[in-house]
Amino acid sequence: MIRVALLVAGKDLRIEARSRVLASQVLPFGVMALVLAGLALGPARAGHSGAAPGLFYLVLLLVTLLAVGRSQSLERAAGTRASVATLGLDPAGVFLGKSAALALELVTMGLVLEALAVVMLHVALAGALVALPSVVVTLATLAAAGTLYGAIVGEGPVASTLLPVLALPAFAPLLIAGERAFSAALSRQAEARWWVITLVALAAYLAVGVLAYGVLEDS
């Protein structure tokens, strides 16, 4: 399982390094969304500080949806699916590999967007650094959840529009937990409760994905 996970993650990351779709399209989208969020709030610094964590995570969710779609599209090209299926890869390894690659990509984009939030939304740098671990864990959870929902949606002409409808309700608790953890970090309060929620969600998505990814792929 681990061997397959490393193989699949390496393949996905190599494809992204070669195609730069996330770097040239998805990340710029996230940057624009965050800049627009700052403009929509107006110039008042006080307004920004309260809304910044929520806006930051809202943008991350949109970026996640696009990244999940891209990750799944790699396997959906005509012919590729059948050829790769005949390799008989362990589906649990495929799930873990795709989740790991997506998590790394999301964390990379998340770091850029968090730095931008410091500039555009006047987030305190020290608070942003304290919030960083929770951002990383939340993005890893979003990657696992997104990979699972990407497989549920499958392929077909409605896949790209169906994904947000199915995934966003499932992402909502992660948005709330992430926003609370970020807000707690900014105000230097305890944030253990939100960490626990996110870690439990991560464990649950990983367990379901390892057990069910093969069934979802075949269906």
Partner 1 sequence: MSLAGPAPTGPVVALEGAVVAHGGFPLLAGVTLELAPGTLTILRGPNGAGKTSLLRLLGGLEPLSGGRGVVAGVDLAHGDRRLLRRKVGWVGHEGSFYDDLTAEENLRFAARALGRPGAAVGPALARVGLTARAATAARRLSAGQRRRLGVAWLLVRRAELWLLDEPYAALDDEGRELVGELLVEARAAGVTIVASAHEALAFDGDREVRLAGGRVVG
Q: From CA 217, how far away is CA 219, in angstroms rounded?
A: 6
- 87 interacts with partner 1 by CB under 8 A: yes
Q: Minimum Å distance from CB 76 to partner 1?
A: 11
- 218 interacts with partner 1 by CB under 8 A: yes
- Closer of 13 and 51 to partner 1 (Cβ): 13
Query: CA torsion angle for 74, 75, 76, 82 (degrees, to 10)?
Result: 150
Residue 13-52 contact track with partner 1, rule CB under 8 A, x = bound: -xx--xx---------------------------------
- Closer of 16 and 191 to partner 1 (Cβ): 16
Among 55, 150, 53, residue whose Cα is nearest residue 102: 150
From candidates 40, 43, 46, 86, binder to partner 1 by CB under 8 A: 86
From candidates 11, 13, 111, 112, binder to partner 1 by CB under 8 A: 11
In the chain, DSSP finds a helix count (H) and a strand count (E) of: 9, 0
Report angle CA 10, 165, 41 to the nearest 5 degrees.
Answer: 90
Among 136, 132, 110, 138, residue whose Cα is nearest residue 198: 138
- 122 interacts with partner 1 by CB under 8 A: no
Q: Minimum Å distance from CB 80 to partner 1?
A: 6
Q: From CA 37, how far away is CA 143, in angstroms rounded?
A: 23
What are the residues binding partner 1 (CB under 8 A)?
A: 4, 7, 11, 14-15, 18-19, 74, 77-80, 82-83, 85-89, 91, 214, 218
